[in-house]
Amino acid sequence: MNDSDTRHRSDSDIRRNASNGLLVHVVSKDARTLQDELEQAVRTVREGAQPGNRSGIVITRHSEALLAVTHSPDVPYGTTIEQDRWHRHS
């Protein structure tokens, strides 16, 4: 097997959100693949937008390994923002 065959896959979950288009959850504990999975999730949300959807994209971190990607009417069209809903406890 080569590296691409053994590459860790995240447990991404894609759901249709009636008001904003798609909601993609990215779950990965592998930092090397998390960025790739996140980029794919943003592409999926962007490509799955409802016709006429003029919302931007928001990426929300819920934990070290869980992020959500969706459209938000609060984000200007063509913009992607990140927000953190996870706080590490020291």
* pLDDT at res. 64: 85
Domain boundaries, the chain: 3-84
* pLDDT at res. 3: 35
For the chain, the straight-line distance linking the first and the last C-alpha, in angstroms and rounded, comes to 40
| 4 band by pLDDT with thresholds 50, 70 and 90 | very low
pLDDT in tens, 23-81: 888 888 787 788 888 999 999 898 887 778 888 999 999 988 889 999 998 999 999 99
The number of C-alpha atoms within 13 Å of 35 and in the hemisphere containing its C-beta is 2
